[in-house]
Amino acid sequence: MSMRWMDERQRRNSTVGFSLSADILLLSSSNPNSLCYVETAELDGETNLKFKMGLRVTDEMLQEERQLAEFNALIECEEPNNRLDKFLGVMRWNQEQYPLELDNMLLRGCKVRNTEECHGLVIFAGSADTKIMRNGGKTRFKRTKIDELMNYMVYTIFALLILVAAGLAIGHTYWYEEIGSKAWYLYDGKDQGASYRGFLSFWGYIIVLNTMVPISLYVSVEVIRLGQSKFINWDLQMYFAEKDTPAKARTTTLNEQLGQIEYIFSDKTGTLTQNIMAFKKCTISGRSYGDPTTAEGVSLDRGRPVDWNWNRYADKKFQFMDNYLVAHVRSKKDRDAMEFFKLLSLCHTVMVENKDGELIYQAASPDEGALVTAARNFGFVFLSRTQDTITIREMDQETTYEMLALLDFNSDRKRMSIILKFPDGRIRLYCKGADTVIYERLAANSRHKETTQTALDVFANETLRTLCLCYKDISAEEYEAWSRKHKDAQLTLTNRDAALDQVYEQIENNLMLIGATAIEDKLQDGVPETIAKLAKADIKIWVLTGDKKETAENIGYSCSLLTDDMQIHYGEDVNEKLSSRQANRRNEPQTVHQRKKKPAEPFFTQPGKNALIITGGWLNEILYEKKKKRRRLRLRRLGRRSPPSSPQDGQPMNDLEKEMRQIDFVDMACECEAVICCRVTPKQKANVVSLVKKYKKAVTLSIGDGANDVNMIKTADIGVGISGQEGMQAVMSSDYAFAQFRYLQRLLLVHGRWSYIRMCKFLRYFFFKNFAFTLVHFWYSFFSGYSSQVAYEDWFITLYNLCYSSLPVLLVGLLDQDVNDRLSLKFPKLYLPGQQGTLFNYKNFFISLFHGIFVSLIIFFIPYGAFLQTMGQDGEAPSDYQSFAVVTASSLIFTVNLQISLDTSYWTFVNCFAVLGSIAIYFGIMFDIHSAGIHVIFPSVFTFTGAASNALRQPYLWLTIILTVGISLLPVICIQFLHKTIWPSVGDKVQRNRKKYEMELEEEEKKKPSAFQRGRRSRRSAYAFSHSRGYADLISSGRSIRRRPTARGGPQDSIREVPH
């Protein structure tokens, strides 16, 4: 796009920072050489500051408003896309071309820090083109599986209502032709045919039987959900006191879905971890440090943190338990220990800012920041740097070293080095890196290899991120020879990185080992225990993170998601297996695809657990999501490109093949115990979630804490936001929110399970009581000429769902629990019925239907048989319609209220009051509306005058009610007894031994909780693998070092280092 000066000029508080609302090309800033620090937590979840740089030409030429106003350039760049890690473009200005990269871009969602003023050119704006918005998803209306099932059941009931009404209408037509029209005493004075009377009867029965369609069900369900949401909000065990953050149910419509989760998709940084790196342990000259000790070296079970008051530069937040190492360093007797911390203070790419006498470090990686901070506390303080010098304070002495070369880290080298010239003229190389690459480059006479290796194994087993430190003394002649090769490699135009790596290899050899560091990426409290407990509940956890593969793998081990007995498969293995399956499918005869789909063969045939670790790049490759591949498919659909007759370099031949590839990937991933997707964009996170939802029909939950997790949270059936260090975007987009990952187990295994059980029990009972109530009219119609006459009194029909049967079932839906919260957490297997959907489905619905039919038969026909040829105590026959209505209604009220009593697992005073109160309210209202006084006031409304008192004074009718209720409940009691004794569920077994298990829990709480045991396998924990590329290019160029003059003029006034 071509544009004259369109600027987004920001002047804000430099400490607080400001967020950007567009993708902007950085032109210049108030910092030296247009350096701009940004926080990208909303994009990738990382809270450490990163730097962006303007082009040199724009920095020199666009500093004043007049220059900005005259700026006129043509920008050619890639189309809008969702790649957060890539930008390609060219700026054409003054007959010159300048390449544009991601380092020159300030993306929407970034927060600018430590920059008073910056000028930029808007490249992409609006809600459609910016990269973060391209990663956004549509807001989806979420509904539970029970909601969908309930809607289908209501449709079924409505269809059943129409069929029953139609059948009764046909019955009335035939009855009128055969009987009604011939009985003179039934003549109503209306000249209407049998068919027309049948038509009227149909609509009459639609009205009479309308209580089959549970209209009040939806209101009751929402009341129960509201109450369950309040219980989540009020749960003090999900309250995080440190930040005064309670759990929050931000929706009231998804509670029971929490009891059906099968897959959890979790972010890593800030969700599983605290995003805080801490220097925990180290080994120097074969001796390990970091465990609690006194200053004399005596080991302690529980020590006190080191007092740093002796060091005015110390970071008071830094905690270290080994007092002996501090005393050892301060004594200056151990040269290796001094060299160890000197290396940490010199070999890095950290930038430092002195603000009001306080040193503020800006590191490209939080790991590196933790190491420099550790050196600072031990008395080796990094003070400042220029392009070719670095100054530190060694205990009480300030020393400046000349920096001859900085060999920066990259993911292939897995190490970084710095070559320094000491004040006394010596030249020394310091190197730090992964043990796998350092040990290959150690000198034959290097000491402490074995003891350091043992310490590394111990650190790795504790899932600490390790790093080896070493040095090498270089002669002046050797350095001069190497320096010439280095400069030649820097000037190479093709394969410069490879040439530099080759030159680095020539100097990074024959190293002398000093020791190793161990850094802890702090997990949130309770994460391993939570993951282990959710795994026992058969919930699979996938980690979707934008972090590096090695970092994600380390965290997978530390949080017990990955274990030593798992076989790990990476992207290359996955792609090979999927390609093989696809090739076999292509080679199969065409008729095979036309046959009934056979179940797919498993990908992993060998016994044992499997885990999958895959990067975003491989994910695109596997799912055919690369841009060129998408374009080919689109052109084929438009008919502009014919499908290939044979596969070309792994391309899908059609949409069906792409879909089959996705199904294969999901099947393979679901065979694994754990899946970790790293280096994935927000859109890829959402795509993975949607694939599992689409092909597994599973209930999914996504949990994250940053803006880069919003799309994933919206896509999943349940979205959970953690209020962490990355803002509130995830919380604002979530359905549930709390402060710590460990609360997830309580949300699912307690609140989710209870909500599901309560809702299922409520629905089963609600359908039953409505069928039992309504179908009495159906049986009565066979004795009333199918005339749409009701079997009960009108006021009973009106108040049945409102007063007589609503409160007990509502309280069951709100308060019932089969076992308490502690036992729910102790036995995660109790969660399985929710995943399997066994407590409420069409089978349960038809059981409730037939149960209601059975009870309605009993309630109608036993009183009907009892009323035949019956004489009361007073010599009068009580077999009138009104007495019959009173007896059936009373039997129904007793039956449904005692039935909910049998279904109640958790009794409280409120439940007892509700059941007894409902029966009492029924009799109280019935005697009132059957009284003579109210009949006198409203004679046409209350017509059952004296019916209740007349019928219920007959002992024979009370015996009829008792018999009816007993026969109605007896089969239920027998079935429940058989189920709990012969076929008990896990819940029944826990209930039976509840007191025993509660005593065990009390004993466990009294005992001291054992520390979490890490894995025992010796594996490399790779700090260096996860360490991101540093600021070496920036430092070497000198662009961040020189101060900009106070009065900024044209390009001739800019101070720059001339490149050698």
Region label for 275, one of left (φ > 0), alpha (ψ between -120 and 50) or beta (otherwise):
left
Give the per-residue pLDDT at 546: 77
Range scoring the smallest mean pLDDT among 10-24, 161-175, 836-850: 10-24
Give the per-residue pLDDT at 648: 46
Give the per-residue pLDDT at 1011: 41
Query: Distance between CA 330 and CA 308 in Å, rounded?
Result: 12
Query: Distance between CA 682 and CA 137 in Å, rounded?
Result: 9
Give the per-residue pLDDT at 142: 82
Phi, psi of 737 (to 5 degrees): -140, 140
For residue 135, what are the contacts with CB-CB under 8 A and spacing of at least 6?
82, 84, 681, 682, 683, 708, 711
pLDDT in tens, 416-431: 899 998 988 889 999 9
Query: Distance between CA 299 and CA 322 in Å, rounded?
Result: 9
Give the per-residue pLDDT at 727: 58
Give the per-residue pLDDT at 597: 54
Range scoring the smallest mean pLDDT among 213-217, 820-824, 855-859: 213-217
Pairing verdict, β 397-407 and 389-394: antiparallel
Rounded to 10 degrees, the C-alpha dihedral 70/73/78/83 comes to: -30
Query: Distance between CA 504 and CA 1041 in Å, rounded?
Result: 25
With 0-12 CB in 10 A as exposed, 13-18 as middle and 19+ as buried, what is 1045? exposed
Region label for 55, one of left (φ > 0), alpha (ψ between -120 and 50) or beta (otherwise):
beta
CB hemisphere CA count around 889 (13 angstroms): 29
| DSSP state at residue 1012 | P
DSSP result, 833-901: HHHHT-SSSHHHHHHHHHHHHHHHHHHHHHHHHHHTT---TTS----SHHHHHHHHHHHHHHHHHHHHH
pLDDT in tens, 932-964: 777 777 777 777 777 777 778 888 889 999 999
* pLDDT at residue 640 tops 60: no
Range scoring the smallest mean pLDDT among 297-301, 339-343, 468-472, 1027-1031: 1027-1031
Give the number of other CB atoms < 10 A from CB of residue 188: 8
Look at residue 278 and give its three-state secondary structure: strand
Of 1045, 847, 829, 1024, residue with least CA distance to 348: 1024
Give the per-residue pLDDT at 743: 93
pLDDT in tens, 126-145: 777 888 777 765 666 788 88
Between 997 and 517, residue with greater pLDDT = 517
Q: Which residues pair with 467 in a beta bridge?
A: 517
* pLDDT at residue 973 tops 90: yes
Which structure tokens are listed for 536?
Answer: 């026992």
Position 17 confidence tier, pLDDT thresholds 50, 70, 90: low
Between 410 and 480, residue with greater pLDDT = 480
* pLDDT at residue 504 tops 90: no
* pLDDT at residue 15 tops 50: no
Give the per-residue pLDDT at 67: 84
* pLDDT at residue 1010 tops 80: no
Position 202 confidence tier, pLDDT thresholds 50, 70, 90: very high
Q: Which residues pair with 23 in a beta bridge?
A: 124
Range scoring the smallest mean pLDDT among 118-127, 439-448, 632-641, 918-927: 632-641
Give the per-residue pLDDT at 754: 94
CB 1022 within 8 A of CB 434: yes
* pLDDT at residue 191 tops 80: no
Q: What is the mean pLDDT of residues 1-23?
A: 49
DSSP result, 278-291: EEEEEEETTEEE-S
H helix and E strand count, the chain: 41, 32
Which structure tokens are listed for 535?
Answer: 């795994």
Region label for 114, one of left (φ > 0), alpha (ψ between -120 and 50) or beta (otherwise):
left
Which structure tokens are listed for 704?
Answer: 């994250």
Catalytic residues: 267
* pLDDT at residue 262 tops 60: yes
Average pLDDT, the chain: 81
Which structure tokens are listed for 396?
Answer: 């009480």
* pLDDT at residue 631 tops 70: no
Q: What is the mean pLDDT of residues 582-595?
A: 64
pLDDT in tens, 235-245: 999 999 888 88
Pairing verdict, β 351-355 and 358-362: antiparallel
Q: Which residues pair with 660 in a beta bridge?
A: none
Give the per-residue pLDDT at 89: 82
Which structure tokens are listed for 798?
Answer: 């009106």
Position 491 confidence tier, pLDDT thresholds 50, 70, 90: low
Give the number of other CB atoms < 10 A from CB of residue 273: 24
DSSP H/E element including 266: strand 263-266
Query: Distance between CA 38 and CA 427 in Å, rounded?
Result: 36
The residue to which tokens 């008919």 are assigned: 639
pLDDT in tens, 861-896: 999 888 876 655 555 556 678 888 899 999 999 999
Q: What is the mean pLDDT of residues 686-715?
A: 87
Give the per-residue pLDDT at 871: 58
Position 764 confidence tier, pLDDT thresholds 50, 70, 90: very high
DSSP result, 15-75: TT-EE-SSEEEEEEESSGGGEEEEE-HHHHS--SEEEEE--HHHHHH--SHHHHHT-EEEE
* pLDDT at residue 970 tops 90: yes
